[in-house]
Amino acid sequence: MSKLDGKVIWITGASSGIGEALAYQLAKQGSRLILSARRKEELERVKGNCIAASHPFIKILPLDLSEASTLNLSTQAAVQLFGHIDILINNGGISQRSLTKDTSLDVDRRIMEVDYFGSIGITKHLLPYFLKQKSGHFVTITSVMGKIGTPYRSGYAAAKHALHGFFDSLRAELWKDSKDIYVTLVCPGWINTNLSIAALMGDGSAQNKKDDTHKKGMTPDQFAKKLIRAIEKKKREVYIGGAKEVLAIYIKRFFPGLFSKIVRNAKVK
């Protein structure tokens, strides 16, 4: 029996990519799911594609991470769907494909609003429930860009770095409040999703094409299976991706001068 059998898991960004793959895998494990994203019809599609036996245990909760004023009510609604939540998977977000000099400040603000403030908003609203039940697990999908920075990702890398700072601090604080509330930071490398298609250009428009690096990346199903194992083990931080992306994190950590030279001409799109 899976350790996640019967667990109530709330997934944001569940209408495509990593979130969609997680829904399929967790449904097979017997988890009770709350699926959130902006597009209700896509969430219904994902639910319909989960194994039939899981359908009574999957709830749909449309959510826009950029609408900060709605997140508290959405969190209350999520808790009421099953009476409690065991795991929150902060997966919703948008990416970027533009040089800093070509990127408007509005684009930086939009990325930060969705990728950072959206995730920490839900986390802060859910935290009192976890503290009351003296258990819970925050799982946040950041990126390799949460550990390094490359060209064309200045705003995106900034938002992902910010998530690491927030959740590392939260983990340290929770150790005193409850040793049964966990924080897992997940850094994907290139995963073969449509993230790059919707990535923002400097003027705020979508790139509308998939990067070659994403086309060659790990499949979402492979990623989801690896992530589920990390959740079950309550890992503090995990890197999931190809060898090059993961290696870049360690080169940056131990050989920052070398990394600085490598990243200048790295193929990142």
SS3 content of the chain, % helix, strand, coil (to 5): 55, 15, 30
- Calpha distance 160→87 (Å, rounded): 20
- From 116, 156, 182, 239, the catalytic residue: 156
Closest alpha carbon to 99 in 159, 149, 160, 161? 149
- Calpha distance 82→7 (Å, rounded): 10
- Calpha distance 186→196 (Å, rounded): 19
156 is catalytic: yes
- Long-range contacts made by residues 15-18, C-beta under 8 angstroms, separation at least 24? 15/39, 15/42, 15/43, 15/45, 15/46, 16/42, 16/193, 16/194, 17/191, 17/193, 17/194, 17/195, 17/220, 18/91, 18/141, 18/188, 18/191, 18/193, 18/220, 18/223, 18/224, 18/227
Cα→Cα distances 43→12, 105, 267, Å:
10, 31, 33
Token representation of residue 158:
């900034």
Residues involved in catalysis: 156
